[in-house]
Amino acid sequence: MNVSFQPVNSISATTLDDYNQNASGFRAGTWNHDVSQNINALLRHIQAQPPYRILDFGCGPGRDLAAFKSLGHIPVGLDGSSEFVSMARESSGCEVWHQDFLSLALPSVEFDGVFANASLFHVPGADIARVLKQLHRCLKPGGVLLSSNPRGGNQEGWNGARYGVYHDLTSWRRLLDEAGFIELEHYYRPEGLPREQQPWLVTVWRKPD
């Protein structure tokens, strides 16, 4: 993995261009992935009255938007890839915002939950604190954030044409604590495998009332 010294807007543009060019293949390869464990983890911690208003942060082609909608909630998607935004709108029938993670324009105190499944690791280390604070602000008091990221030893750089940061639990906890969140739980995925075969770290957090 190569560490990059490119400007962050160039990093974002290169990553999004790769997703746009490979959108159909990405959809085909991920649509049937079972992330119900993560969906359930977010929903069981939300204390508001349903239906919940949920921001699917990095919604991709819309798989999880459709799942939340089928459960009776009101999901809103957000993605930086124009191809994914079009796919997500068509496949889910939900509202989907086209926003780069590094140029967010989020409403304040709007959502009961934020579902960030395989998305926040694309935010460069220099920008993650700001993005987490923006997600904190968009949640209602008591709202819940779930993040699922590929874990690592805090290395940062390019994996092919996509940029990523591979946090360990200690560093991720520090970032979320500094953003004002309270940890509710964490676990590793896929479930039921030895830890060395669980590349995904899932953490769930609450915005204080």
- Walk along the chain (209 residues) and give the pLDDT tens digit of each residue: 444 445 566 899 999 999 999 999 999 999 999 999 999 999 999 999 999 999 999 999 999 999 999 999 999 999 999 999 999 999 999 999 999 999 999 999 999 999 999 999 999 999 999 999 999 999 999 999 999 999 999 999 999 999 999 999 999 999 999 999 999 999 999 999 999 999 999 999 999 99
Residue 141 placed within a domain? yes
Could you tell me which of 164, 136, 23 has the C-alpha nearest to residue 82?
23
Residue 30 placed within a domain? yes
Give the domain CATH number at 127: 3.40.50.150
Per the structure, the complete domain to which residue 84 belongs is given by 8-206
Residue 51 placed within a domain? yes
Residue 1 placed within a domain? no
Residue 169 placed within a domain? yes
Residue 148 placed within a domain? yes
Residue 56 placed within a domain? yes
Overall number of domains in the chain: 1
- The pTM for the full model equals 0.95
Residue 165 placed within a domain? yes
